[in-house]
């Protein structure tokens, strides 16, 4: 459990409540997860292969960095919590196209909060008319009509050796519009069966990127191939924009507290703000951080 990542003016009552909840969470975490701190004992099995973040001292395998213990067969290593995103094949990632993309070579470069830029080939994209077809020379000339620098995109990792390649595996992937992009520590987003979530009651799409980039935006309908692409886009309703901001602030609070991002936890935090009649702008204040910490301690118990 981390301390608050932002300085908040907690009064004496809030400080006591916050510290009590943190103590409860630490007590629960000590028996339910595999997180370690420096010099924690990992395992005394002499047949384990010692990987990154571990060291053998006096016959014991100890952690040399703060993080999470990972076992791969006989290999054991510690994944640093503060490290950059390390891609895995089929990871769902959200990123932003950077300025120096290589149009001449038919691909874009994407910032993914990793040690490598993502490579998005023209041949791996969905065309604006939603029709899967062979990319032609004219499509290469019109690449800027599809994606330009600073666009936010969502793709899947398909290759990570040499260079990090991305691909649209279905109609869910592509350019993202009418929403907000947030960044959290990658370790807060666990790999799950689905990283795409449609909040039907709010008309919002929530994408939890494994690289720590999270997208909250107005729900995007799959385009009809016969639809007029040039049709003017209507404005996002005020109510939808307010919901995007409320969800975004819920994620910011969870990130400040170091809590794992799941759909259930995010929406529980949103519902808590509504139940307690917390205004969107007040969600980033001291009281709501304390309320979320207390709620998380109760939820885990």
CATH C-level class of 34-82: mainly beta
Highest mean pLDDT among 46-55, 161-170, 276-285: 276-285
pLDDT of residue 12: 94
pLDDT at residue 108 greater than cutoff 90:
no
Domain locations along the chain: 1-33+178-221+237-301, 34-82, 84-176
Residue 71 makes CB contacts below 8 A (sequence gap 6+) with: none
Neighbours of 174 (CB within 10 A): 21
Distance CA 121, CA 131 (A): 17
User: Is residue 202 within 8 Å of residue 243, measured between CB atoms?
Assistant: yes
The confidence band for 216, taking pLDDT boundaries of 50, 70 and 90, is: very high
pLDDT of residue 225: 37
pLDDT of residue 41: 59
Where b means 16+ CB within 10 Å and e means fewer, 14-27 reads: beebbeebbebbee
pLDDT at residue 73 greater than cutoff 70:
yes
Tokens describing residue 118 = 């993502």
pLDDT at residue 258 greater than cutoff 50:
yes
CA distances from 290 to 118, 252, 268, 271, 276 (A): 38, 14, 15, 15, 12
The DSSP secondary-structure symbol of 272 reads H
The confidence band for 45, taking pLDDT boundaries of 50, 70 and 90, is: low
DSSP string computed for 48-113: PEE-TTEEEETTEEEESSSEEEEEETTEEEEEETTSPB---TT-EEEEEE-SS-BGGGTEEEEE-S
pLDDT at residue 130 greater than cutoff 50:
no
Tokens describing residue 96 = 């932003």
> ∠ at Cα 197 (279, 299), nearest 5°?
60
* 121 closest CA partner among 167, 171, 174, 175: 167
Q: What is the pTM of this model?
A: 0.79
What is the CATH T-level fold of the domain 84-176, as seen in this structure? OB fold (Dihydrolipoamide Acetyltransferase, E2P) (2.40.50)
DSSP string computed for 204-257: EEEEE-TTSEEEEEE--PPPPTTS-TTPPPPPPPHHHHHHHHHHHHHHHHHHHH
């Amino acid at each position: 459990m981390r301390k608050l990542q932002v300085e908040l003016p907690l009064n004496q009552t809030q400080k006591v409540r916050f510290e009590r909840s943190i103590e409860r969470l630490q007590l629960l975490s000590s028996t339910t997860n595999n997180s370690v701190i420096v010099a924690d004992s990992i395992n005394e099995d002499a047949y384990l292969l010692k990987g990154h973040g571990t060291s053998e001292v006096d016959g014991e395998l100890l952690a040399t960095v703060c993080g999470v213990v990972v076992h791969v067969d006989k290999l054991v290593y510690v994944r640093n919590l503060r490290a950059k995103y390390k891609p895995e094949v089929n990871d769902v990632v959200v990123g932003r196209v950077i300025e120096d993309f290589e149009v001449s070579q038919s691909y874009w470069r994407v910032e993914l909060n990793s040690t490598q830029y993502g490579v998005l080939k023209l041949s791996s994209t969905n065309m604006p008319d939603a029709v899967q077809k062979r990319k032609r020379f004219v499509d290469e000339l019109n690449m800027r009509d599809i994606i330009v620098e600073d666009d936010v995109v969502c793709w899947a990792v398909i290759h990570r050796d040499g260079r990090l390649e991305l691909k649209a595996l279905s109609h869910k992937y592509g350019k993202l519009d009418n929403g907000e992009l947030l960044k959290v520590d990658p370790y807060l987003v666990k790999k799950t069966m689905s990283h795409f979530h449609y909040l039907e009651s709010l008309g919002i799409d929530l994408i939890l990127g494994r690289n720590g980039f999270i997208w909250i935006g107005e729900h995007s309908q799959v385009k009809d191939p016969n639809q007029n692409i040039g049709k003017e886009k209507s404005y996002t309703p005020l109510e939808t924009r307010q919901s995007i901001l409320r969800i975004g602030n819920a994620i910011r609070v969870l990130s400040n507290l170091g809590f794992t991002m799941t759909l259930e936890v995010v929406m529980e935090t949103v519902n808590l703000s509504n139940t307690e009649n917390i205004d969107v702008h007040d969600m980033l204040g001291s009281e709501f951080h304390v309320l979320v910490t207390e709620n998380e301690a109760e939820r885990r118990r």
